[in-house]
Amino acid sequence: MHSESPTTLVRAQERGTAGRATAVAHPNIALIKYWGKRDEHLILPRVDSLSMTLDVFPTTTCVRLAPGAGHDKVTLNGRPAEGEALRRVVAFLDLVRERAGSAHRAVVDSENTVPTGAGLASSASGFAALAVAAAASYGLDLDATALSRLARRGSGSASRSIFGDFAMWHAGLDSGTATEADLSSHAEPVPAGDLDPALVIAVVNAGPKAVSSREAMRRTVDTSPLYEPWAVSSKGDLTEMRAALLAGDIEAVGEIAERNALGMHATMLAARPAVRYLSPATLTVLDSVLRLRREGIPAYATMDAGPNVKVLCRRTDADRVAETMSETVPDGSVLVAKPGPGARLLRGDGR
C-alpha cells in the first residue's frame, strides 16, 4: 500500500513552489460506479462511489502563473487545447482564482499517457493533477479532503484520484444549503484487507467515445426507467463492497463490482434514446471472463463510458488473465495495473 499520507499532499508554501507547480495523478477505476448528477454545476452525484487508483497512465500537469497575460494558455500533450477541453480547464482555473483572490492567468501544460475520452478515466487523472498543481501555484493551502472537493468540480471521478489505493466518494448531504452539500461531497481512503489485486485492462478501442459521460448521465437520469432501481441497489452494493474489501475477499469484491457495472450499463441501454458504450468486442471479452471463472480463476469485469474492459483478479493470476485477454482481442492492447498512489506535487517542481 502507498505510504505518502494524503493529508501531507499539498503544502505549497512549505515546498516553496507558489507561482509554479507540477503535479502527477493516476486514473482510478470505479468498483461501485458514479453515474448521474443531482447538481450539474457543483458536480454533486446521485450515488456514492468507490474506486481503485491505478499505478499506470499518469497525468503530469504544470501550472505557471502568467501575470499580465490576457488569457490562460493550455496545452494537452504538447498541442494547444481548444473547444470544450479548453473551456473546462479555464472554468476550473476561474474557480481556483476566485478562491485565491487572484486575477492572474496561467500557463498549463498537461501530459496525459492514457487515451483521452475512451472511458479509461483520463479526466480523473487530468483534473486531479490540475487541482493539485493549480492549488499550489495559486498559493492555496489545501488538505487532501479540500483537494478532492476541488478536483470534483473539474470531473466527478477526479475527486477519487486524489487518494491512492481504494477511495470512496461521498455523494454528500442532500438537504441543507448548496455550501453544505458542496462541503460534504468528497472522497476519502477506504481500508482494505490483504487483497493483492490487479486490474487487467483490455483496450478494445482507444478512440474517443461518441457520447460524453456528461450527456449520457443526463439522458440516463432523465429518461431511463431503470435508473432509480439501480441507484437504490447501488447503496447496498457499496455497503457490501466495503465489507468485502476489509475482509480481503477478492471473489466478493469482483462479484459486486461486476454486477454494479452491468447494472449501470443496463440503465443506459434503457435510456431514451439508448446509450450503448459496449461493443461486440466488449461482449467477447465478457465471455472470456466467464470462461476464466469456469476454469477456477476469480476474474471479474467492469466497464465505464466506453467499450474497454477492466478485469479484476488476484495479482498472482494477472499474467494468465492478461494472456487470455490478448488472445481474445488480438487487435487490442492489454496491460496489467495494480493499486497506485494518490495525486502529489513533484518535489522541486519536477525541474
Interface residues with ligand PMV (CB under 6 A) are 30, 33-35, 49, 123, 155-157, 213-214, 304-305
Q: Which secondary-structure segment (H or E) carries 293?
A: helix 280-294
Termini Cα distance of the chain: 27
Instruction: For the CB of residue 342, give the shortest distance to ligand PMV in the complex, in Å.
Output: 16
Distances in Å between the Cα of 215 and the Cα atoms of 37, 43, 171, 260 are 11, 13, 19, 20
Q: Which secondary-structure segment (H or E) carries 167?
A: strand 166-169
DSSP assigned state of 270: T
Instruction: For the CB of residue 268, give the shortest distance to ligand PMV in the complex, in Å.
Output: 9
Instruction: For the CB of residue 14, give the shortest distance to ligand PMV in the complex, in Å.
Output: 30
Spatial strand order in the sheet of 299-303: 299-303, 309-314, 197-203, 333-337
Q: Which secondary-structure segment (H or E) carries 214?
A: helix 213-223
Instruction: For the CB of residue 117, give the shortest distance to ligand PMV in the complex, in Å.
Output: 9
Instruction: For the CB of residue 238, give the shortest distance to ligand PMV in the complex, in Å.
Output: 12
User: Closer CB to ligand PMV, residue 35 or residue 138?
Assistant: 35
User: Closer CB to ligand PMV, residue 33 or residue 242?
Assistant: 33
3-state SS, residue 155: coil
User: Closer CB to ligand PMV, residue 35 or residue 92?
Assistant: 35
Cis ω for the linkage preceding 273 (within 30 of 0): yes
Alpha-carbon distance of 166 to 197, in angstroms, equals: 11
Cβ–Cβ < 8 Å for 260, 208: no
3-state SS, residue 66: strand
User: Closer CB to ligand PMV, residue 34 or residue 300?
Assistant: 34
Exposure string of 291-306, with b = 16+ CB inside 10 Å and e = fewer, is: ebbeeebbbbbbbbbb
User: Closer CB to ligand PMV, residue 51 or residue 137?
Assistant: 51
Instruction: For the CB of residue 146, give the shortest distance to ligand PMV in the complex, in Å.
Output: 19
User: Closer CB to ligand PMV, residue 27 or residue 332?
Assistant: 27
Alpha-carbon distance of 250 to 261, in angstroms, equals: 16
Cβ–Cβ < 8 Å for 112, 47: no
User: Closer CB to ligand PMV, residue 156 or residue 263?
Assistant: 156
User: Closer CB to ligand PMV, residue 12 or residue 128?
Assistant: 128
Instruction: For the CB of residue 169, give the shortest distance to ligand PMV in the complex, in Å.
Output: 8
Instruction: For the CB of residue 45, give the shortest distance to ligand PMV in the complex, in Å.
Output: 8
